[in-house]
Structure 1
Amino acid sequence: MESYDYIVVGAGSAGCVVARRLSDDPGVRVLLLEAGPPADDFWVRTPAGMAKMYQSDRYNWRYFTEPVSTLHNRRLYWPRGKGLGGTSAINGMVYTRGNRRDYDHWADLGNPGWGWDDVLSYFKRSENNERGAGPYHGSDGPLGVSDPAVKHPSAFDFLEAARRNGIPRLEDLNNGEPEGCGFFQATIHNGIRQSTYEAFLAPVRHRQNLVVQSGVQVRRVRFRGLEATGVDVVQSGELRSFSATHEVILCAGTLSSPHLLMLSGIGNGEMLQRHGIQTLMHAPGVGKNLQDHFVARVQAKTTPDSSYNRDLLGWRKYWQGICYLATHRGYLAQAASMAGAYVKSGPGIDYADLQISFRPMTFTVSPSGEAAVDNYDAISASVYRVRPASRGEILLRSADPLQPPAFIPNYLSEPEDTQAMLSGIRQLRRILATEPFASRVISEIVPGHGITSDEQLIDFMEREGHCAFHPAGTCKMGKDDMAVVDERLRVRGVDRLRVIDASIMPTVTSCNTNAPTIMIGEKGADMIRADSAAMRSSD
């Protein structure tokens, strides 16, 4: 059995960061295991390639939820990254951190060391921001962060229309107080997608103390008593085991980390026994507390100069391709959203609970799953409640590790989420109907001008709304009976096992979750190294 000091399971947004930081110490050996393939595709590295990744069999697990009773029993599509870089290799690349009070709330819930002032340094440490270093940003980190390659004129008009609706213009949406509107930054560097593999691991793959293996499906964590000792895997059709002398670290993500805990005997004992899994540790919180951002979209036909759809069609798309290959600029170097706003859904809200995202283009997903740019001039904007009250869960479906669990998101199960979304759609419509943007709009396509009443808009959300691909919270950090990990991300009740990914969030951040997950990887790796040093000094 091959032995390493640390085994990291999952080479995604957090796992690549953890493996990189642990391997910075040449005195330890690190094994990083990823079920998916190497992510060395041209379209993975090209930002516009996210459309091709949307339902890619090679790089996407292509999960679906269980039928959602609050959404007319629809089964929603849940993309999840499969390969080196995980979801950071297929996502929309928008770099947002949320509000400082998100993290202060984590600390208030009994997680010391997780307040905004504690985590800011980890955001900064990871960054190589093209704006340079400052109070809120770093310039020496591995992760390239940049402003939009092209700032379209309609985006400027969108922001001005938002300002005229009382939403202040902000130069930096990542300063911890993002109540206002501005341009989004993205995890793109010199026109290349900055997956965590590209940014953190690729530059150090030569290290002798770092072993990265793809195509390895972890079946379960191995234990001796209540002490994690390694993992059992399937590799090239064969069963294998790897040993960890220090720790096993699960970075498999919000959907897979709780699944691995359950397969390893850590979870709700009654559910585990129903599937023939011996209970090692009764932990009822595993898989609970599932949160995600639920999205409603508004689309409108526009004047030709208001959208770049036509630049991605016909002969023009080939010109864009030539420009991208020559300069790594242009529309192929764009993230999913160009600009946006953080607003409150009502006067009684403490801080912004809605995110609005704007893009000067539209696309349609065909029945085959391919995302194709629409052949007319149009823009799209979306809104979601960033701090949803609704909670879902992940349930074990089978003891077979290759069978995914059941995902039950319970979107809009709490009435306050529905009311907040109604406010968000109406605020978004007001922005689009305000000059200087109003002159660009010819007609609303979705939901359509005839959809105006609460009842009509709720029906629209229930029939057409979808997820923002930001699941979190299923191995939450805390001190209560449903907490799965403590504030140092150690799995409660067992030794030498941690979870470090978005699943540990007690509450989902008020933003896209990739940047916070990278921060969690940075901080988690620091904790491991600090705890190891403390243990050595006490020996």
Structure 2
Amino acid sequence: MPIVHAPARAEYDWVIVGGGSAGCVLANRLSADPDTRVLMIEAGPSGEGVAEIDRADSWVSLLGSRYDWGYGYAPTARVDGRRIPIPRGRVLGGSSAINAMLWYRGHPRDYDRWEAEGATGWNAASMNRLFRVVEDWEGGADAWRGAGGPIRVERSRDPHPIAAALMAGAAEVGFDVIDDPNGATNEGVAWTNFSATTGADGVMRRWSAVRGYLAPVLERPNLDVLVGSRALGVRLEGPPGGERARSVRHVVDGRSVETAASRGIVLTAGAIDTPRLLMLSGIGDADALTAHGIRPLVDLPGVGANFQDHPLIEGVTARARHALGPVRDTGGGSMLNWRSSVAGEVPDLHSFVVQGPHGTPEVRDEYDLSGDVFAVSPGLMGSRSIGSITLRSGDPDAAPDIQPNFLAERADLDALVESLDTIQDLFGSRAFADLVAAPLAPAGRLDRREAERFVRRSVSTFFHAVGTARMGTDERSVVSPELAVHGVPGLWVADASVMPTIPTCNTLAPVYAIAERAAELLAEVR
């Protein structure tokens, strides 16, 4: 893999900051013009040859590893005073290289809502077009699915019995069985779609952004991919009020260097590091920047605000009647979407199977999860609580303060409490009779007080951080619907941070779609 360890030149046409899911898309698309020079900067290593990244059944071992930024959500009393880890990929491919490979678009109305909130041109139809560009769906192309795209999407070829039990059990208790959760409706139970492929050896392997977008184009002479280079910020030039993004400050071999961009800089560092870099560059809430000793250049109070993530109950566990055998696929295989009593017009609750124990450290201290156990873990895809990302200091080495405000909205707590009973209903179905020896954590149905306690001790994250550089046209938006940073010519954002509201799904697929649209928009910049 021809990766560089120092920029080949002092200036490129485009500099992409962040070699994750979105960055790899843009590196591919922008460098398709042989006369356009592109540099992509990634803080982490290449990840080349790492078996744990390649094998779908090893992904959990990557969490908290050297390939993870090691961030955590700040504790609150609402989550029982716990620090909740929020894994983010620190490796080429970003979170597409360490995640669970779940391919899920959510409900079409999620994206019509974006346009209604000011993201003109972003709606269900436009996103469906982009999803189809990205996909290489095992079932071939139709009105909803794409074929021949860079990202292979498949279902399990040999689902685990727990995955099969969820399919049958959900139907038994009254949920619809749907063929494709990425089609016209996502409400019901379905086999999981994975951004992965299963080989002749029966092993499922990850199909990351590197595999789909970057590896096929690494030999292009106009594309440089720099690994092990941490970005420090963007340098702006020009008179006050007329500053333009000119270069990126980043670390190469332990020293700070600057690389210029003649056409523009694109931040694809994700919903945590993109706002952090903007603030370190003097772009953000002016009073907050001043308090940290950073000279404010562009007052954008929306930077770091509007942080959203999906809360996950980790998890609802049962004692198995017999040995479960080796992990298949990613350890999952099927999923259920349904509505709580506080839901709107689309499903707000989601659950998936875990072929083993699933519990926070606090739950593991309270319950014995050893031996043959498994979980069906529910979470809230229709979450309402909104948090923020702020700087702790002006030191670029300092991690930001990340507060998702989980359970701040009463409706979020209510929905998650309801979800516990649904999982107990599933465990009590005939489909699970041969699998469940007894409910374990919790050990059956709970009253309201007990259920709230369990939720607060069990709530974690789906790893779906979004929203911190929201696109729109109002004073709290950070980028325009064309993804240009307000008030900063030459600077764009193209990652999960631009989402106005979090869609009811895993966020990998919409991030790829955002990056594909960004590439189309940036191709017009001269």
- Structure 2 length-normalised TM: 0.92
Equivalent residue for 1:118, pick from 120, 126, 135: 126
Unmatched segments (≥5 aa) in structure 1: 313-330, 368-373
Equivalent residue, structure 2, for 1:412: 407
Contact 1:383–1:425 (Cα < 8 Å) also in 2: yes
2:312 equivalent among 285, 291, 295: 295
How far the C-alpha of 1:69 sits from its partner, in A, is 2.8
Q: Cα distance, 1:140 vs. partner?
A: 1.1
1:401 equivalent to 2:396? Answer: yes
One of 514, 517, 524 as aligned partner of 1:523:
517
Aligned to 1:481: 475
Q: Contact between 2:229 and 2:252, CA under 8 Å: does it hold in 1?
A: yes
Q: Distance in 2 between matches of 1:129 and 1:502?
A: 23
Find the counterpart in structure 2 of residue 500 from structure 1.
494
Find out whether 1:254 has 2:267 as its counterpart.
Answer: no
Quickly say closer, same or farther: Cα 1:176–1:474, change in 2 above 3 A: farther
Cα 1:266/1:176, change in 2 over 3 Å: farther
CA distance in 2, matches of 1:188, 1:362: 23
Match of 1:304 in 2: 322
Instruction: State yes or no: 1:278 paired with 2:295.
Output: yes
Relative to structure 1, is the Cα distance of residues 366 and 68 closer, same or farther in structure 2, using a 3 angstrom cutoff?
A: closer
Q: Secondary structure at the match of 2:272?
A: coil
Q: 1:476-509 CA distances to partner (integer Å, 9 max, x unpaired)?
A: 1112221111111111111111111001111111
Q: Please give the alpha-carbon distance, in whole angstroms, between the structure 1 residues aligned to 2:184 and 2:27.
A: 27
Aligned equivalent of 2:51: 42
Percent identity reads 34
Distance (whole Å) between structure 2 residues aligned to residue 123 and residue 302 of structure 1: 38
Q: Residues 308 and 387 of structure 2 are in contact (CA less than 8 Å); yes or no, is this contact kept in structure 1?
A: yes
1:441 to 433, 436, 439: 436
Per-residue CA deviations over 1:339-374 (Å, capped at 9, x if unaligned) read 01110002762110111112333367889xxxxxx7
Query: 1:322 — aligned with what?
Result: none
For 1:446-494, what per-residue CA distance to the aligned partner results, in whole angstroms no more than 9, with x for missing partners? 1222x51111011111112211111111111112221111111111111
Q: Report the CA distance between 1:423 and its aligned residue.
A: 1.7
How far apart, in 2, do the equivalents of 1:336 and 1:116 lie?
A: 31
Q: Find the counterpart in structure 2 of residue 320 from structure 1.
A: none
Residues 163, 332 of structure 2: 8 Å contact kept: no
Q: How many residues align?
A: 503
Deviates more, 1:184-193 or 1:407-416: 184-193
Output the CA distance in 2 between the equivalents of 1:149 and 1:436: 20
Q: For the residues of structure 2 that align with 1:123 and 1:348, how far apart are their CA atoms?
A: 26
- Aligned partner (choices 228, 241, 247) of residue 215 of structure 1: 228
Aligned to 1:51: 60
Alignment of 1:456-467 (within 5 A): 456-467=450-461
Report what 1:324 is aligned to: none
Kindly tell me: are residues 429 and 234 of structure 1, through their superposed partners in 2, closer, same or farther at Cα, counting changes over 3 Å? same
> Do the aligned partners of 2:135 and 2:152 also contact (CA within 8 Å) in 1?
yes
- Cα distance, 1:294 vs structure 2: 0.8
Show structure 2 runs of 5+ residues with no match: 1-8, 199-203, 363-368
Match of 2:178 among 151, 159, 170: 170
| Displacement after TM superposition at 1:159 (Å) | 1.2
Distance in 1 separating the partners of 2:375 and 2:310: 18
Give the counterpart of 2:465 among 460, 467, 471: 471
Q: Tell me the distance in 2 between the aligned counterparts of 1:93 and 1:348.
A: 27
Distance 1:192 1:122, change over 3 A: same
Partner of 1:328: none
DSSP 3-state at the match of 2:271:
coil
Provide TM-score, normalisation by structure 1.
0.90
C-alpha RMSD over aligned residues = 1.9
Contact 1:183–1:338 under 8 Å retained in 2: yes
Partner of 2:354: 359
DSSP-derived class of the 1:255 partner: helix
SS in 2 for 1:60: coil
Q: Which amino acid aligns with 1:238?
A: R
Distance in 2 between residues matched to 1:153 and 1:79, nearest whole Å:
28
Give yes or no for contact 1:94–1:336 (8 Å, CA) kept in 2. no
1:18-97 equivalent positions in 2, closer than 5 A: 18-40=26-48, 41-56=50-65, 58-97=66-105
- In structure 2, the residue matched to 1:104 is 112
Please point out which of 134, 142, 151 is paired with 1:143. Answer: 151
Q: Give how far 1:337 is off.
A: 2.5
Asked whether the 8 Å contact 1:148–1:335 carries over to 2, the reply is no
**Alpha-carbon contact 2:78-2:408 (below 8 Å) kept:** yes
Q: Which amino acid aligns with 1:420?
A: A
- In the alignment, what sits opposite 1:327? none
Indicate if the aligned counterparts of 2:360 and 2:457 stay in contact, CA closer than 8 A: no
Answer whether contact 2:191 2:334 (CA < 8 A) is retained. Answer: yes
Q: Take 1:448 and 1:270, find their aligned partners in 2: how far apart are those partners?
A: 50
